[in-house]
Structure 1
Amino acid sequence: MKFQDNQHFSHKHILNALKLDIGKKIDCDACENPITEPFHGCYSCNYYLHDQCLNIPRSLQHICHPSHPLTLLPNPTYSSRSFSCNACGSEGNAFSFSCAHCEFDLHIHCAKLPAKILIDKHPHELNLLFNFPYKDENVVFVCDECHGTVNRNNWVYYCSHCDFGTHSNCATGNVTQKEEANSSQSCNEYLMESTAHKVEEIKAYNEAQEKLMAVTLEAQLNAKGRKAILDSIDDSESHRRYYYY
C-alpha cells in the first residue's frame, strides 16, 4: 500500500515531506538508520520515516516462518520495549515484522534480505540459510568476515562448497565497509580501478537481488488483493467456487 494523504498508522499526526537540514543528523523511527531524502516526518514529535519505510506492507508471509503471517509493528510489544531479531540476533527498538503466536521478530531490513549475495571476500555466491549449517551441536561456527561466533539460532550467508559463512549483517555490510576502507588507502591507479569495478559489480548484483525481493513481495500483495475481490464476487453470487515466496 502506498503512503497516501500524509497519514501513517504508526503516528497520530500528519507526516509531511521534509528536507534534511545541512549538518543535521536524525534517525528513521522505522529502521533506526540515519535519515536520507526522501523522507516524511513530524517536527513537533521528532518523528521521521524514510519514504521506503513508510510504504512497507503491513504484513507478509515469509518463507522462514511459514506457520503464520508476520505483522508490521511500529513498536515492540514486549515489556522490555525491545525485541531480539531472529535473523541477526541483535536488539531492535523500532519497527518489526512479528508473529505474536511464536514470539518471532525480524528487523524490517532483515525481512527483505536477498536469498543470495556476493561479497568481495569470496568468489562464490552465498546462500541465505535460516538454519544452522552444521548438525553436530558441538561444532562452533566462526564468521569468516568478523571472526566472531555465529549463534546457531540466527541466519547465516553460507557457501557449502567452500564451508565459508558469515553473519547476515556482516555479509550485507561487506560492500560498504570495503568501499570505506578502499577510499582511505593509498593504492596505485590500476588497483584502485580494478577494486572499484569489482565493488560496482557486487553492488549491482545485490541491488538486483533486493529488487527481486521487492517485486516478489508486491506480487504477493497484489495476489491477496485479487483473491479478496474474487472471494467477494463468489459470496455475492452462489458461493461458487498465494504467498510471499
Structure 2
Amino acid sequence: MSMNSSKWVKLISLCPQMEVKFEEGKIQVVESPLWRSNNKWECFPLAWETYSLTGGDTTHFRCRNCNGETHREYNKAPVEIKHVLHQKHSLQLVLLHLLSERRRCSCCDEYLKKVFYYCSICDFAMNLACAEKPPVLLSIYRPRWHDHTLALFPRKNSLTCNVCGLIQSSGLYYMCPPCDFVMDQSCLSLPCVIRISRHPHRLSFSPYFRQGDWSCGVCRTKINNKYGGYSCIKDGCSYAAHSKCATQSNVWDGEELEGLPEDGDEEEIEPFVRIKDGVIHHFLHQHHHLRLEGNTDRDYDENMQCQACITPIYFGNFYSCLHCDFILHEKCANLSRKIYHPIHPHQLTMVGGYEGILDFEKDICSACIWLCKAGFFYECGKEGCDFKLHPVCHNFGATSPRKSYASFIPNI
C-alpha cells in the first residue's frame, strides 16, 4: 500500500543486482557485492527506501535488508531491459553506492536517482521514470519551432540547441540535418505565450530575434540573435529573455497563455476612491475617510506610526483618519493592490494588518525575514504558497529591513 495515499497501490519492488559509484564524473562498478541480511525483522516497510517516479504517491520500493528476496508477493522491476534510446546493449538495474557526486540522466537530463538503469560499456545511464515512460517518438513535427519533421538523434553528444541556445551534455536531441537545426527534448514543452514576474507585459516565443543588440531581462547577459527566446508582445517594448531564463520556476508561474484573452492582465484597481480634493476612502480602512495633511509644523511623535509600513512618520505628507488614529504615509496610501515581484512568480495581493498573535516562524516577510503581518503586506493567492512581502521590500527589493525602511520614507 502506498504510504502517501489512502488508495491501495501495488508497489513494485526494486532489486538491483549491481552496485556502482561515481569517480571523477564516471560511473564505476563496485566490486563488492550488495550487502544482504537474513534478519527478516528488518524487512518491514519502515526499513524500505521508497521512490516516487512522478513526484506524487510512492510507487516503488527497495528493501535495504534483503534487496527484495523475501518480498515475493510484490511485482519486481526488471533487472535488465532493452530501450529504444540505447539499442546496442542491455541496461542493468543498478544501485548507487554513495551520493557523493551527481550525474544526469542521458534521457531527461535530470539528476540520477539512487536506483537507475545503466550500461557499463557505453556509460549510458537512465532514470527509472524514463525507462517506464511510453516509447520515445523517433520523429516529431513541431511547426511552431521548425518547418520540417525532426528526427531523433539518440547518440550521446554535446550540441547547441537552436531553440534555447544551450549545450546539453546529456539528454535527447531532435534534428533536421538539411537545415542544420537541432532541438533538445526539454524544449519540446516550452510555452508559446507567458507572463513572468520580471515584466508587466506578456512575452511570446520566437525561434530567432531580429537584428539588433538584445539583452536578457532575467540574467542581464547578451542574447544571440540566431537562437530562440521570448520577447514582449507590446509595440515599442524591447524586453526580451532567454528561453530557459524566462521559464524558470522562480520567474514563470507555469501557465501557457496562448489563446487566452489579455483582459485583466494589466488592469489595476486603485487602492482608494478620491472623495474630494485631499480626502480619500482607502480599501483597507473602510469605516472612515482619510485626509491628506502636511508634516511641516508638527512636533515629532515617535508613536505616530504609519499603519502600512509600521514606521514613524518623519517628514512629508500623510493621510490621517477623520475619526480615529489611523494614519498612512502618502506613498503607502498609493501602493498598488496587486503586484508582481521579481523574486516570486505569482501575483501578490495586498491585505491589511493581522491583529492576532504573530508567529515568528510563519508570519515573516519572504524577502527580509522580519515579521510582516503587523502592517499591510502582500501575500500570494496561489494555493499552497505562503509567500509574503513587506510593502517596503516590494518597492526597493532590499534584503535588509533597516535599509528598506530608511529608503522608503521620504527625505531620510
Smaller-chain TM-score range? 0.5 to 0.7
- The alignment status of 1:91 with 2:171, answered yes or no, reads no
The aligned amino acid for 2:126 is L
**Larger Cα Rg: Structure 1 or Structure 2?**
2
Q: Which residue is 1:42 aligned to?
A: 118
Deviation (angstroms), 1:195: 5.6
- Contact 2:118–2:126 at 8 Å: present in 1 too? no
- Contact 2:208–2:228 at 8 Å: present in 1 too? yes
Query: Which segment drifts farther, 188-197 or 56-65?
Result: 188-197
Distance between the aligned counterparts of 1:102 and 1:53, measured in 2?
29
The aligned amino acid for 1:152 is N
- The alignment status of 1:128 with 2:310, answered yes or no, reads no
Distance between the aligned counterparts of 1:123 and 1:32, measured in 2?
32
The aligned amino acid for 2:242 is H
Q: Which residue is 1:62 aligned to?
A: 142
CA deviations 1:31-58 (Å, max 9, x no partner) are 4332248x74126355322455454422
Please provide the CA RMSD for this pair: 3.8
- Unaligned 5+ residue runs, structure 1? 202-245
Shift in CA distance, 150/100, structure 1 to aligned 2, threshold 3 Å: same
Distance between the aligned counterparts of 1:16 and 1:118, measured in 2?
43
The aligned amino acid for 2:215 is V
The aligned amino acid for 1:127 is S
Q: Which residue is 1:6 aligned to?
A: 81
Higher strand share: 2
Shift in CA distance, 41/174, structure 1 to aligned 2, threshold 3 Å: same
- The alignment status of 1:15 with 2:95, answered yes or no, reads no
Q: 1:156 aligns with which of 229, 232, 236?
A: 229
Distance between the aligned counterparts of 1:185 and 1:21, measured in 2?
39
- The alignment status of 1:116 with 2:189, answered yes or no, reads no
The aligned amino acid for 2:379 is S
Q: Which residue is 2:248 aligned to?
A: 173
Deviation (angstroms), 1:157: 1.2
The aligned amino acid for 2:166 is S
Deviation (angstroms), 1:84: 1.7
- The alignment status of 1:194 with 2:194, answered yes or no, reads no
Aligned residues, how many? 186
TM-score (norm 1): 0.60
- The alignment status of 1:75 with 2:155, answered yes or no, reads yes
- Contact 1:175–1:199 at 8 Å: present in 2 too? no
- Percent same amino acid at aligned positions? 24
Deviation (angstroms), 1:118: 3.0
Shift in CA distance, 125/50, structure 1 to aligned 2, threshold 3 Å: farther
TM-score (norm 2): 0.38
Shift in CA distance, 124/189, structure 1 to aligned 2, threshold 3 Å: farther
Deviation (angstroms), 1:193: 7.5
Deviation (angstroms), 1:28: 0.8
Deviation (angstroms), 1:99: 1.2
